[in-house]
Structure 1
């Protein structure tokens, strides 16, 4: 969906900040807009010097490495922790499916924690700079859901340090550290002011903001702000499914797994008449997953070795470090259960600010991906300390082995008693293929379960054996670290490659042009006028493909323009051609037996038209409902709140004319000619904070009409009507960012000067 702005930027050197390529028109604030004085983004580009996705993998490693160094861990253990964090299956999977901004934000999480801990320890200028830059980079990554989850963890960390400070009578020092952090946060936010202000502004117009509608298409009441409970929790991790963290395919793995021709379902399908190729094709995408989530790309596997080391650390570590890591991990796990732990989830949705703005809550498990390897490495750090008694270390080894190994043995021996291996869609498969197939599928699920439980048990026993050998002086410290590094790499990469392998990497030219033109695209692109395209060959609001070549009515985004989503729910999803014509949908991409074809809509209203009447309504509910019966080609529906900005002294003139003569994403020029005053409607999305209207260069008010479009009075005569996208938020934010960057620069210079003076 960013392709139009990229092309415009390359051709003109100008940033548009608006695109018509998605949802009929939206700001590019969430589509990779470039802002003036965004020096944090330039720093991020320097850090991401490797090709994608290796750049994100490097950020995983370096961020966690810095965190462990700030916790006084030596570089060898820091390296071990980095690979344990960076190769965690979930972090690799999101790279494989292109969740780049999520990976980006996760990668900077450890660095933010490093800055906080460094300030609690030292409160010097370098700790301050580390935290300032880390928070600025985290915000710049532009995935606020991940940053929000990090904030929850930071709050728990702060509480743990507060309790510790109280017990040690160090409350004044604690609040001095908090004061330093507040300054760092303010500077970091200011450095990202443009992005934050723009996002805040757009949020009010998106599906994440407060809706002015009080009704749903079915007439029921509509939630006024945030997302609904069912939508937020549509992806909820199962309570039992959480053992995926330790056993990769505990519940069958992803929604579809390749289990090969040796599987029971392959044999079953052959027995009921399927051809070898049909049976093999099904076995390559077998429904092995037996959890309750709608879709699972892969399990969020942290690693049996890492889990064992985490449990081992629980017996060796005490105090604030243990409790903030364990507290954050437990909270993340409980919240990831969503509707399976309804009480806590509803409490957060109702009472915790902003929590209801995010969906796919299973992704809060990134906190587990961070916390578990962190405590695991700190446990090894304690293992190597002479001050910790050997008996205490042996005790920790014994019980961590019993807990993790024993749990895996219970799963292995009593699986048929504990689990039914039945999936949410099994009734459909039973009806389609019969009970013999279902029995075969259950046996395959058990086999997958067995194999991975045994696999995890082996890794646990080897890890325990390595620590035992160290405690018995049979291997030294370096040999133990090296052995664990190999074990963790084999464990994690072995699972990672099940879901991201060589087949997921393509030639660079395919990334540069990811969508190949179809005959339908070529046919539509022959028309050089300005119009919109609606792709009905699939889910139009779940794909960005059409946007790559055309100005699309559809698209894919987590924060769609709210009013377009409302129109979709009320009318577009029901194929209401009048609404589609009003939105200037001139072409449809439709599926046929010969492939997708272009189909022209002869009734499209065009880029603008003149009306002879205005229907006034008192609410947004009335406005959207009035679209059903109104003659939208001759009538404009306008809310009374715009009464003072609309003049009624217009008379429709059939000889009058208005025509779009020049189109840019951020500027539209029209020629107008009429013998009397007119009221014009424009088939462009209304967005008041940035779009300005001019008649012959003079600023002129325009209003929202027909729920989503723009309308304005135009006086008699010949005029040039121009719409320009001139977002004040960019100017304001850029000024704040510049000031913040200068202040950060002065702190750096001052710090260097201070260090030189101190050394001298």
Structure 2
């Protein structure tokens, strides 16, 4: 066995262990089952049309008509030419989903700790703490795959940066390119943005350290290399980034022209999302203790409290049968925090937090400060609108959140601020593992380590004791939702719920206290030379796995898995779907059934739907929905070519045929120029869209306010061919006319042709396309030809070639140096 193989053998064994653990936790994948993720079901519905198109034609469409009247597929899994970094990503994710993401959690964090010169055994231990962090498992259960994907590559990016600062210039530079390229390919820019905030904290700390040590030339050399690495990583993902940048301006994340809401009230004017929307999911200050005690705030919105609970007895007292009471008790409203929806607590772990606190006393220098800085920043920003001593906070109550929204670039493009806690979920295990690193080395005297242990136990165990002894004094265990339950079931029912909330906190606080004392005991006996270093690692591995996995399994377990067929084909056509599918025309469907409303991706799976499920819809179309579609304005539904409305009556679902629809295209007799978007969207309340159109575009500046067109009885325009990215019409008109098309206007990509000649089209009726058609018989075509895809693909190809050449040169240089 060669020396080099002996060096890599432990790492190979660790990787095999990660594979085994990933498959063991998600063991149903070995039986061919797949995890049932609610968000992925919606995604499958939204992406069905483009998948079918690719399957049938072998081509990729970058536009889909299946949802929201039509939108680009840029954020729906579009596949781009020369996206070689994606091929690398798919190679790394060789395990069945979601075991592949868990494996990425492990391996990324392992490499990060190795880059910090941590022994492989402790690096593996830290990987367990990170990978099994409850929030990271929960997001796999609900289907936030792209978020999990991006989080998994965060440690790898940090590893590349740290190696560069450690003067491993070649390795750090190349790893940063690849890791950041993989991070971006995950396509969750919010997580990547949060990583950037952590990197800035790291950079500031390293700058201060370099200044103090008079190493500024090395610092700026590293920054230069990392900047080039970032540019190349962006280049590898050029198409994805450029299409997203183009799309975001037109999406709900971009600036709106409206200054009013659908109810007529004044609208908050912002270049991004509103503060209310951004801070909707703000982490409660008290909820911070969920990181340390799993069910401190009751757990999730629906908890299984079992037959021995007060909730079960309360249901029995209300007249429920034992079976009904047991079933209801499995969905008990235990969560008493302020967030609207909480699937599970964001539990980091009692064991790793104990080690984190120990690390605060044992670890010195820049490592400690960027980890602590990242943790504090992450926690404060996760509070969103919540701030100390403020009851019923407004969206701008937190001055730090307010500052970031108003002044920090791009911060106002993202919502669900509580998710920034992924940063502290990364930082805490790193510092916790370094507590063990310092514990095992001889840099500090045993007396100092025992003193640090004493302080850590006093803080962590003391906090748990305070909660155990004084919980009824400190907390009322009441939720803002409780009034509804009191109205429905009476005060005794809520009293029972509160008792179970207290019971959950007591049980989990006692659990945390025991885990802390066991952890402290392992450290104490090591310092007293009663336990060896290896045995301490084994003890902490057992404690970490028990601590985290036992909580994780309460929320994501084998029950989440179903047959692969149910996941791959999550929707079955009902009677209404089958009837509508007989019509091979091009039209839209409004699904008003209860299933269509609760599963908006379902309608998109079968039809061209007015609704859908997406975090970044086209902004103008979203506003049209708020002002008119949700209110069933038939003029607007007709102009959107809503031929079928799926209705539900007494449990029966049927399709209603709308005979008044405007059709695919029509000639209008009048175009009126309006002065503002506010007027344009409001006038649709009463506008006869069959004969009139309105616009605010500048194409007609200098022309009369109202332009009239002659429309005679023979004027017609018919759709002859349609695909998601192509529409062909034949027009007949004895006069010059203005044609309106029931298709969503999207300037960047859709081109209009008359008889093969490119012409200008424009936006009318707030969201639709229109163009002037000369008299006579003509062929009109719309083609989706986004230049951004072609340009981005060329940049991606060039960046991939440069990276490949640099990689070959690095290999050549390394071997030459060895020789």
Report the TM-score range of the alignment, normalised by the length of the smaller protein: over 0.9
Q: Contact conserved, 1:607 with 1:659, CA < 8 A, in 2?
A: yes
Matched, 1:372 2:418: no
Map 1:730-749 to 2 at 5 A: 730-749=789-808
- Partner residue, 1:160: 205
| Separation in structure 2 between the aligned mates of residue 435 and residue 253 of structure 1, nearest angstrom | 22
Question: Which of 276, 285, 290 is the equivalent residue of 1:239?
Answer: 285
Please list every run of 5 or more consecutive structure 1 residues that lacks an aligned counterpart in the other structure.
none
Question: Which of 521, 540, 543 is the equivalent residue of 1:465?
Answer: 521
Question: Which of 756, 778, 786 is the equivalent residue of 1:719?
Answer: 778
Matched, 1:116 2:161: yes
- Partner residue, 1:65: 110
CA offset digits 1:285-306 (Å, max 9, x no partner): 1011111111100000001011
Q: Structure 1 residues 140, 585: CA separation in 2 closer, same or farther (over 3 Å shift)?
A: same
Q: Contact conserved, 1:470 with 1:477, CA < 8 A, in 2?
A: yes
Question: Which of 660, 669, 678 is the equivalent residue of 1:603?
Answer: 660
Question: Which of 477, 492, 495 is the equivalent residue of 2:533?
Answer: 477
**1:383, distance to aligned residue in structure 2 (A):** 1.0
Q: Contact conserved, 2:243 with 2:788, CA < 8 A, in 1?
A: yes
Most deviating of 235-244 and 275-284: 275-284
Question: Which of 386, 395, 404 is the equivalent residue of 1:340?
Answer: 386
Map 1:142-541 to 2 at 5 A: 142-222=187-267, 223-341=269-387, 342-538=398-594, 540=597
Q: Structure 1 residues 420, 492: CA separation in 2 closer, same or farther (over 3 Å shift)?
A: same
Q: Contact conserved, 2:109 with 2:155, CA < 8 A, in 1?
A: yes
- Partner residue, 2:686: 629
| Separation in structure 1 between the aligned mates of residue 407 and residue 271 of structure 2, nearest angstrom | 13
- Partner residue, 2:618: 561
* Structure 1: 4+ residue segments shifted above 3 A: 538-542, 644-650
- Partner residue, 2:646: 589
| Separation in structure 2 between the aligned mates of residue 245 and residue 425 of structure 1, nearest angstrom | 23
**1:483, distance to aligned residue in structure 2 (A):** 1.2
CA offset digits 1:484-526 (Å, max 9, x no partner): 1111111111000111111101111112111222222112111
| Separation in structure 2 between the aligned mates of residue 262 and residue 206 of structure 1, nearest angstrom | 50
Q: State how many pairs are aligned.
A: 760
| Separation in structure 1 between the aligned mates of residue 724 and residue 318 of structure 2, nearest angstrom | 57
Please list every run of 5 or more consecutive structure 2 residues that lacks an aligned counterpart in the other structure.
1-45, 388-397
Q: Structure 1 residues 479, 425: CA separation in 2 closer, same or farther (over 3 Å shift)?
A: same
Q: Contact conserved, 1:337 with 1:362, CA < 8 A, in 2?
A: yes
- 1:204 alignment partner, SS class: helix
- 1:723 alignment partner, SS class: strand
Question: Which of 637, 642, 662 is the equivalent residue of 1:580?
Answer: 637
- 1:598 alignment partner, SS class: strand
Q: Contact conserved, 1:249 with 1:448, CA < 8 A, in 2?
A: yes
- Partner residue, 2:742: 683
| Separation in structure 2 between the aligned mates of residue 280 and residue 361 of structure 1, nearest angstrom | 36
Map 1:88-103 to 2 at 5 A: 88-103=133-148
| Separation in structure 2 between the aligned mates of residue 758 and residue 174 of structure 1, nearest angstrom | 25
**1:542, distance to aligned residue in structure 2 (A):** 7.1
Q: Contact conserved, 1:211 with 1:562, CA < 8 A, in 2?
A: yes
- Partner residue, 2:14: none
| Separation in structure 2 between the aligned mates of residue 641 and residue 224 of structure 1, nearest angstrom | 23
- 2:562 alignment partner, SS class: coil
Q: Contact conserved, 1:694 with 1:721, CA < 8 A, in 2?
A: yes
| Separation in structure 2 between the aligned mates of residue 578 and residue 644 of structure 1, nearest angstrom | 27
Most deviating of 67-76 and 590-599: 590-599
Q: Contact conserved, 2:635 with 2:686, CA < 8 A, in 1?
A: no
Q: Contact conserved, 1:531 with 1:584, CA < 8 A, in 2?
A: yes
Q: Contact conserved, 2:108 with 2:152, CA < 8 A, in 1?
A: yes
Most deviating of 672-681 and 79-88: 672-681
| Separation in structure 1 between the aligned mates of residue 497 and residue 708 of structure 2, nearest angstrom | 73
**1:441, distance to aligned residue in structure 2 (A):** 1.1
Matched, 1:41 2:86: yes
**1:316, distance to aligned residue in structure 2 (A):** 0.4
**1:278, distance to aligned residue in structure 2 (A):** 2.8
Return the TM-score normalized by structure 1: 0.98
| Separation in structure 2 between the aligned mates of residue 736 and residue 205 of structure 1, nearest angstrom | 23
- 1:544 alignment partner, SS class: helix
Return the TM-score normalized by structure 2: 0.91
Q: Contact conserved, 1:260 with 1:280, CA < 8 A, in 2?
A: yes
Q: Structure 1 residues 561, 540: CA separation in 2 closer, same or farther (over 3 Å shift)?
A: farther
Q: Contact conserved, 1:611 with 1:680, CA < 8 A, in 2?
A: yes
Q: Contact conserved, 1:251 with 1:449, CA < 8 A, in 2?
A: yes
Question: Which of 652, 668, 677 is the equivalent residue of 2:727?
Answer: 668
**1:123, distance to aligned residue in structure 2 (A):** 4.2
- 2:763 alignment partner, SS class: strand
**1:644, distance to aligned residue in structure 2 (A):** 6.3
- Partner residue, 2:711: 652
RMSD: 1.5
- Partner residue, 1:752: 811
**1:374, distance to aligned residue in structure 2 (A):** 0.8
CA offset digits 1:13-72 (Å, max 9, x no partner): 111100011111000000000111111111101011111111111110110011001000
- 2:646 alignment partner, SS class: strand
| Separation in structure 2 between the aligned mates of residue 493 and residue 104 of structure 1, nearest angstrom | 20
Question: Which of 15, 23, 31 is the equivalent residue of 2:60?
Answer: 15
- 2:250 alignment partner, SS class: coil
Q: Contact conserved, 2:666 with 2:690, CA < 8 A, in 1?
A: yes
| Separation in structure 2 between the aligned mates of residue 723 and residue 554 of structure 1, nearest angstrom | 23
| Separation in structure 2 between the aligned mates of residue 510 and residue 209 of structure 1, nearest angstrom | 36
CA offset digits 1:543-585 (Å, max 9, x no partner): 2221111111111111111011111111112121111111111
Q: Contact conserved, 2:576 with 2:654, CA < 8 A, in 1?
A: yes
| Separation in structure 2 between the aligned mates of residue 537 and residue 635 of structure 1, nearest angstrom | 32
| Separation in structure 2 between the aligned mates of residue 499 and residue 69 of structure 1, nearest angstrom | 31
| Separation in structure 1 between the aligned mates of residue 485 and residue 372 of structure 2, nearest angstrom | 41
**1:218, distance to aligned residue in structure 2 (A):** 2.6
| Separation in structure 2 between the aligned mates of residue 529 and residue 209 of structure 1, nearest angstrom | 34
**1:456, distance to aligned residue in structure 2 (A):** 1.0
Most deviating of 44-53 and 260-269: 260-269
- Partner residue, 1:28: 73
| Separation in structure 2 between the aligned mates of residue 27 and residue 477 of structure 1, nearest angstrom | 56
CA offset digits 1:426-460 (Å, max 9, x no partner): 11111211121121111111111111111111111
| Separation in structure 1 between the aligned mates of residue 278 and residue 288 of structure 2, nearest angstrom | 19
